[in-house]
């Protein structure tokens, strides 16, 4: 899982570099295009067994997961890496809340305390007294959207294979950017610039980092899967996965990111602690 975290942080670093040359939605497009090629190969090579029956939930997962990814990659390009990754790491907090409301799952006193701790951490990162920015709202959405996607996967796993679920997600992640980039040729609306951005032809420099991003993203998936496959306790592995925030803090610093102020840094630590408690409880 530590190797997976390093690969994920490296993926984020490549996305940040690309974000300085092209719109973040285009970065999402190329990220998913590479992944789509890999999963199509897996679908043809390995027989997929599934019973189906939850088509609209499958479509919902693909759409909502892609919208959350748009938000994540936008923040990667516009704020420091550690903050962008911390916002995305709030997903277990929102997942626990959704599971409690939708699936009536009981959450312990410790679990609810951790959720409250996580929200305090979010407030310390945002620091509302300084004003709530567009990237703050987009960051919170990246956590909520990812939580909705993850929660739906649990139900989808009863009906579809992992590769099928990933394939549909990658299709949405490739098709939606094309649609939004096409719309941007005719529509300009600043509040939605994280969605409506025109296509920019990648340079040779950009293509190099697109390939690196795709390869590191692939190895992230490989090592993450391996870690859960061999783990005796999935909660322990999930807790270790928060190391990517630390890695991005270090990588971001060397890329020129300013370090978060003391209050925001304390908020990041609270979100990490909250997420670890929640995943250990689950």
Q: In 3D, which of 6, 8, 26, 5 has the Cα closest to residue 210? A: 26
* Tokens of residue 70, six digits: 């748009």
Whether 237 shows a pLDDT value over 80: the answer reads no
Alpha-carbon span 278 to 172, nearest angstrom: 29
pLDDT at 149 over 80: yes
For the question of whether the overall pTM of this predicted structure is more than 0.95, the answer is no
pLDDT beyond 80 at 46:
no
Which residue in the block uniquely carries the two structure tokens 């322990």? Answer: 236
Q: Which residues contact residue 137 at a Cβ distance below 8 angstroms, ignoring those fewer than 6 apart?
A: none
pLDDT at 51 over 70: no
Instruction: Tell me the percentage of the chain whose pLDDT exceeds 70.
Output: 93
Q: Is the pLDDT of residue 37 over 90?
A: no
CB of 278 closer than 8 Å to CB of 96: yes
187 has pLDDT over 70: yes
pLDDT at 101: 83
For the residues 208-234, what does the mean pLDDT come to? 79
Which pLDDT belongs to residue 194?
Answer: 74
Confidence of residue 147 (pLDDT cuts 50, 70, 90): confident
pLDDT tens digits for range 64-90? 989 999 999 999 988 888 889 989 888
């Amino acid at each position: 899982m530590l190797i997976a975290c390093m690969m994920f942080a490296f993926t984020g670093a490549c996305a940040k570099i690309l974000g300085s040359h092209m719109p973040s939605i285009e970065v999402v497009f190329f990220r998913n295009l590479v992944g789509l090629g890999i999963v199509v190969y897996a679908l043809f090579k390995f027989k997929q067994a599934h019973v189906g029956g939850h088509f609209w939930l499958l479509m919902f997962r693909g759409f909502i997961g892609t919208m959350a990814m748009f938000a994540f990659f936008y923040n990667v390009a516009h704020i420091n890496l550690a903050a962008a990754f911390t916002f995305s790491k709030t997903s277990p907090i929102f997942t626990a809340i959704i599971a409690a409301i939708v699936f009536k799952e009981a959450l312990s006193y410790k679990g609810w305390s951790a959720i409250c701790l996580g929200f305090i951490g979010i407030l310390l990162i945002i620091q509302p007294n300084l004003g709530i920015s567009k990237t703050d709202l987009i960051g919170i959405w990246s956590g909520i959207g990812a939580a909705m996607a993850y929660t739906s996967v649990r139900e989808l796993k009863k009906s579809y294979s992992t590769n099928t679920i990933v394939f549909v997600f990658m299709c949405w992640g490739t098709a939606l950017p094309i649609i939004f980039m096409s719309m941007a040729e005719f529509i300009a609306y600043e509040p939605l610039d994280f969605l409506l951005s025109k296509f920019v032809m990648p340079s040779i420099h950009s293509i190099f980092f697109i390939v690196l991003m795709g390869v590191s993203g692939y190895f992230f998936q490989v090592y993450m899967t391996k870690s859960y496959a061999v783990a005796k306790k999935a909660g322990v592995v999930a807790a270790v996965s928060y190391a990517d925030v630390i890695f991005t803090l270090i990588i971001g610093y060397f890329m020129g990111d300013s370090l978060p102020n003391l209050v925001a840094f304390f908020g990041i630590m609270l979100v990490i602690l909250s997420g670890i408690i929640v995943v250990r409880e689950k």
